[in-house]
Amino acid sequence: MRARVIMGCRDRARAERAAREIRAEVVEDEGGGGGELVVRELDLASLRSVRAFCHRVLQEEPRLDVLINNAGIFQCPYMKTEDGFEMQFGVNHLGHFLLTNLLLGLLKNSAPSRVVVVSSKLYKYGEINFEDLNSERSYNKSFCYSRSKLANILFARELARRLEGTGVTVNSLHPGIVRTNLGRYVNIPLLAKPLFNLVSWAFFKTPLEGAQTTIYLASSPDVEGVSGKYFGDCKEEELLPKAMDDLIARKLWDISEVMVGLLK
């Protein structure tokens, strides 16, 4: 589509390597290429990094047509972000919450524009416990991942509500189980690894397949004007009632604003 694409990445060296591969592939496919790909440092585990990234985007970019919130950390041991948040909630929800809010003005000025939020089917096992959002009383790495993914959906729904009539749409999605290094913290016994590898090659999606719903929501004319919905395999899907609870969504928004420093 000859877009200017900004890759916001935590690891500069790995990002540059990926960008080189993408540029080479595009030139090969298109016989001369088109569009533009730039790498910018962005660590969602650091509010300072998020603010610096957004500051640069707002200085350099005249418009922003699509924002894809795609960073994620999965079932890690208990760790905290630079700002003292539980890592999965901090990266998967709060980092994206601040990023999106800081870029909202540019998205509105660029309307019609889109926000795409990558969640997970595992949201079904999560609950928003306002008494222990930082998991300091108890920590279960699976539950905390699911909670962060439920938070993604609630955030997308509340943002869609707030942006009604602005020309900015917001939708969330689950990509399916994809063969990436997202599961680097998951311990698989040595003897089971050959079987796991076989199963993953047989049943997991490739990264390209896993990206299809994201690409669809970012670029398809089919979803023009569609907002506040949840998708899987490029189709709208039903959500559990807890992911459509507007009171919880608003309360989570209000608390998140304070946590990331948008409100004192």
- Per-residue pLDDT of 221-234, as tens digits, reads 999 999 999 999 99
Active site residue 230: no
Check whether 140 has a pLDDT greater than 90. yes
Query: Would you call 173 helix, strand, or coil by DSSP?
Result: strand
Q: What is the pLDDT of residue 207?
A: 82
Q: How confident is the model at residue 126 (pLDDT cuts 50, 70, 90)?
A: very high
Of 23-37, 92-106, 174-188, 223-237, the range with the lowest mean pLDDT is 174-188
Which of the following is catalytic: 78, 125, 139, 145? 145
The rounded distance, in Å, linking the Cα atoms of 264 and 248 is 21
Angle (CA) 108 112 117, round 5°: 75
Check whether 204 has a pLDDT greater than 70. no
For residue 251, give the DSSP letter: H
Domains of the chain: 67-260 (3.40.50.720)
Q: How confident is the model at residue 196 (pLDDT cuts 50, 70, 90)?
A: very low
Query: What percentage of the chain reaches a pLDDT higher than 70?
Result: 87
Q: How confident is the model at residue 32 (pLDDT cuts 50, 70, 90)?
A: low
Query: Could you tell me which residues come within 8 angstroms of residue 169 by beta carbon, excluding any fewer than 6 positions away?
Result: 112, 113, 114, 115, 160, 163, 223, 224, 225, 226, 227
Please, is 185 exposed, middle or buried when counting C-beta atoms within 10 Å of its C-beta (0-12, 13-18, 19+)?
A: middle
Q: Is the pTM of this model over 0.85?
A: yes
